[in-house]
Structure 1
Amino acid sequence: MENFETMNKSFIKGKWVEGASENAYNDLNPYDESTIASFPLASKDQLEDAFEAAHQAQMKWAESTAEERKRVIHNTADYLKEHREEIAQLIVKESGGTMLKGNVELQLTLEVVEEALNYAGELDEVREIPSSIENKVNKVYRLPLGVVSSISPFNFPMNLSMRSIIPAIALGNSVVHKPDIQVGLIGGVVLAKAFEHAGLPGGVFNMVLTDIPEIGDGMITNPHAELISFTGSTAVGKHIGEIAGRNLKRVALELGGNSPFVVLSDADVDQAVRAAVFGKFVHQGQICMSINRLIVHKDQHDAFVEKLTEKVKALSWGDPGDPDTVIGPLINRQQIDKALSYIVQAKKEGAHPILEGKLEGNVLTPSVLTHVSNKSEVAKSEMFAPIALIIKAESDEEAVEMANDSAGGLSSSVFTSDLAKGEEIALKVKAGMTHLNDQTVNDAPDIPFGGNKESGVGRFGNPWVVDEFTSTKWVSIQREARSFPF
């Protein structure tokens, strides 16, 4: 058994080091606001030490064999499996997720780690391309980028951290990782312990428990950072992209969503309702892929609203540690206030609250709002809360137009009984991912996960992630003397 809650240090150059800042962060349980741990924050100098350690370690790690990298990956997965129960419980305690969420997040993390075994040998694959020049051979190599700067969010901190970290390491890079400080144990400490157990050489993975007031833009501007991998809000993603572009650094950005769930005129309403309730309310709607707008054809609208509201009323809420709980707390008071403001805003804009959520401690019970305009400010906002916005469409064509009338383009869903028509429509929906007759919250380690428009840049998942975390190099070999025209 590991007592992760006592591990409040950063991990730099293979060593656990106490934060040198004068400031500390109290890590609170979102449900009852009890203190889980207190993190002495890492200073800006310590962040620079982490990047320097990563830079030095990467030069040697780049020369590691595929077998060495696979051994580390295997050992990392073994550690997570060995500590499955306490990790799942810690996810519940630190993120406010339910038991279902804790187990799902850990399983997704394991799948991401184990998938890395399938591409850890990509650095050894050399492609030869015929040349039009006599006696020349063209070879194409994949090389590690160098140091990857990883910044992860609060909602699925273990999975969304490892999604960047393990491909970086599997492909010969080193990492400096900053988890959201609100979930520093799940998003940082547990991963550092796993890599330490796995025998990863010191400095290949570095984890800093710190916050923006301490380090500013240090995760983005450090000269050793070749790629900034960030999952979080669109506003922060734009800031990162602007700085990275100025410095010609690569980025992998998975940003906010405004996922539409489209119910067409011929859809199975009962199944659509079952899918919608899960895709909207799992982890209190605090997922980038969560359903944000329920766009329902007028012929299905009334039945859909009635059946969805009935099902939502029956959802249990309260202590996320209770296995029967479906709706737990939002992550912090700021998110609660924002969610409550959305309900007020929606009503001002003419929405009708069929079911209006109430604040019970830090738990916001579910809301269902109808008469929502797709042009309203609330429909343009990412809820990140258990608030269902239902929009009526006059036709199937209008439903698709509404789905596309958004700055976001991450995930989406279309419900129809005509699968051929549905697949055609899926290709017209301007999102990186569209799920036919399913809800919007889907992930797997072997699919191209990512968004369009303001929802991000780049793709995770094997083999697409290999392109993101390596550089491609052309080496030509002139085997016999070449003649030149002058």
Structure 2
Amino acid sequence: MTATATSSETRDIAGSLIASLKAGTFIGGVWRDGSSARRLAVTTAFDGTPLRTFAGASTSDVDEAYRAAETAQKEWALVAPAERAAVISRAADILERRRGEITALLRVESGSSALKANIEVSSAIGITRESATFPNRAHGTLHPSAFPGKENRVYREARGVIGVISPWNFPLHLSIRSVSPALALGNAVVLKPASDTPVSGGLIVAEIFEEAGLPEGLLSVVPGAGSEIGDHFVQHPVPSMISFTGSTPIGQRVGSLAAQGRMKKVALELGGNAPLVVLDDADIDGAVNGALMAKFLHQGQICMAANRIIVDESIYDEFVDRFAARVGELAVGDTDDDDVVIGPIINDDQAEAVASLIQTARDQGAREVVGGTRAGRLFGPHVFADVTEEMDIAQHEIFGPAVGIIKAHGEQDALRIANNTEFGLSSAVFTRDVERGVRFARGVKAGMTHVNDSTVNDEPNIMFGGEKNSGIGRFNGDQAIDDFTTLHWVGVRSAMGPIPF
């Protein structure tokens, strides 16, 4: 069914927040217009209604942001851990206090449902609170030496300046996920948010940390066209690391550019083709619930979204029927409405890509058991049964409210199908035998596999990342400490002894 927006209150709150922004860039502690000739529009995801425009950032703005970061970081790295932790904690408090207006912003600018927007803000708060513990967890080590009178110390130090490029689908969380830990560990950050979500992915982050008392220069935000500033942002000589979340093709380019000139560390969280496997002994209703959450949260515009549902032949028909019945009940519409589960696709180009993939699934012979209608950027949910592995809908990341169901002939066939992809981000398996599920999970070639749970999972204290073409590196928890710091061996003698020549 389709829901109709009941109130403009959400849009009014978001509009007021956007109107109150001081400028379209935040560079070296100063709010000002960008110097690009290109305008950057802030729009509603639902229908593209313009809310405000800014002059975008240019390459000279990027230069200025990196210079300010380089200068400010040297002093910040020397600040006592407790002081850095206090700033990050205040940022988490501000996120909590401003939850209402930020969730409204996410609902309007990124097309988030009320549920998804609240999940996202909670995730951003969680990773920021976790990051506040990092300054006191970044430990060095002492090691013995083979040489008498020598001591080996390994210091853990900030990397320096981190360039962060964040996407539009979880713009606040996926910016904060790198910004908060990097700052906590003594780094400075220059953030380039996605052009579709410059406020929720960037400018609101600047406001929060400015209010939290972060010293000037440590965080700059440079919204701008990727075609104008993207390569320059990555290749710039100042940053020692680039943290990128986005598509695999662009991530591969980022990795290539980061290796040129002054080589940089990269953390790349890229695309996915998540399998959700339902074994023959699964609780079918539980598996249906897991698949609903895994596929349709935020219209399926999540890298972890279940892209393929793989079901054992013995329960295949029953699962398809129950899943289709539940999917048909999902409310579709403008995310102004609290009851809406499936909102708009982020922009017209992405909507056309989703429409094309749906039509190709029909043309290739998949059986359409749920076929929602399209209205602009809104798509009713689509479920295709009898999908085969070579079909486009099984091979490509969908990033929309459509999914294919594949029949498996036993557990080993299900595992083979699950691994038949170039991606390896998230995955899930459903079974009443938990240890069977764990054995299956360990056979999946992915960074993350969940037993009797959704493929969409992210906890601030647990590593997050993928294998194969889903990326390099890990986010969150101890892995974030590793990524945003570097190790420095200092060998110490009280005096230099004799040498063998």
What is the TM-score when the length of structure 1 is the normalising length?
0.98
1:433 and 2:444 correspond: no
Of the three residues 24, 28, 39, the one matched with 1:9 is 24
Write the deviation string for residues 223-271 of structure 1: whole angstroms up to 9, x where unpaired. 0011010000000000011111233211000000100000111111111
Residue of structure 1 equivalent to 2:40: 25
Aligned length: 485
Cα displacement (A) at 1:216: 4.1
Bigger Cα displacement from structure 2, 174-183 vs 33-42: 33-42
Residue of structure 2 equivalent to 1:152: 166
Cα displacement (A) at 1:480: 4.6
Cα distance between partner residues in 2 of 1:97 and 1:300: 33
Of the three residues 354, 366, 381, the one matched with 1:339 is 354
Cα distance between partner residues in 2 of 1:60 and 1:452: 37
Q: Which runs of 4+ in 1 moved over 3 A?
A: none
Of the three residues 271, 274, 277, the one matched with 1:262 is 277
Cα distance between partner residues in 2 of 1:300 and 1:158: 40
1:90 and 2:105 correspond: yes
Alpha-carbon contact 2:357-2:392 (below 8 Å) kept: no
Cα distance between partner residues in 1 of 2:207 and 2:130: 20
Residue of structure 2 equivalent to 1:451: 466
Bigger Cα displacement from structure 2, 461-470 vs 114-123: 114-123
Residue of structure 2 equivalent to 1:319: 334
Cα displacement (A) at 1:481: 4.2
What letter is aligned with 2:413? Answer: E
Residue of structure 2 equivalent to 1:184: 198
Cα distance between partner residues in 2 of 1:461 and 1:96: 26
Of the three residues 224, 246, 249, the one matched with 1:210 is 224
Residue of structure 2 equivalent to 1:68: 83
Cα distance between partner residues in 2 of 1:360 and 1:481: 77
Cα displacement (A) at 1:479: 2.7
Cα distance between partner residues in 1 of 2:137 and 2:17: 34
What letter is aligned with 2:140? Answer: V
Structure 2 regions of 5+ residues with no counterpart? Answer: 1-12
What letter is aligned with 1:209? Answer: P
Bigger Cα displacement from structure 2, 27-36 vs 339-348: 27-36
1:367 and 2:382 correspond: yes
Matches within 5 A, 1:242-281: 242-247=256-261, 248-281=263-296
Cα displacement (A) at 1:348: 2.0
Cα distance between partner residues in 2 of 1:159 and 1:302: 38
Bigger Cα displacement from structure 2, 268-277 vs 114-123: 114-123
Alpha-carbon contact 2:86-2:132 (below 8 Å) kept: no
What is the TM-score when the length of structure 2 is the normalising length?
0.95
Residue of structure 1 equivalent to 2:6: none
Write the deviation string for residues 210-230 of structure 1: whole angstroms up to 9, x where unpaired. 112321401100000110100
Cα displacement (A) at 1:483: 3.2
Identity %: 42
Of the three residues 113, 134, 145, the one matched with 2:148 is 134
Cα distance between partner residues in 2 of 1:417 and 1:80: 39
Alpha-carbon contact 1:228-1:249 (below 8 Å) kept: yes
Matches within 5 A, 1:36-75: 36-75=51-90
SS in 1 for 2:119: helix
Cα displacement (A) at 1:380: 1.1
Cα displacement (A) at 1:27: 1.6
Residue of structure 1 equivalent to 2:343: 328
Alpha-carbon contact 1:255-1:456 (below 8 Å) kept: yes
Cα distance between partner residues in 2 of 1:282 and 1:416: 22
Residue of structure 2 equivalent to 1:162: 176
Cα displacement (A) at 1:375: 2.2
Of the three residues 317, 325, 334, the one matched with 1:310 is 325
Alpha-carbon contact 1:4-1:190 (below 8 Å) kept: no
SS in 1 for 2:323: helix
Cα distance between partner residues in 2 of 1:435 and 1:386: 21
Residue of structure 2 equivalent to 1:172: 186
What letter is aligned with 1:327? Answer: I
Cα displacement (A) at 1:121: 2.3
Structure 1 regions of 5+ residues with no counterpart? Answer: none
SS in 2 for 1:141: strand
What letter is aligned with 1:326? Answer: V
What letter is aligned with 1:174? Answer: A
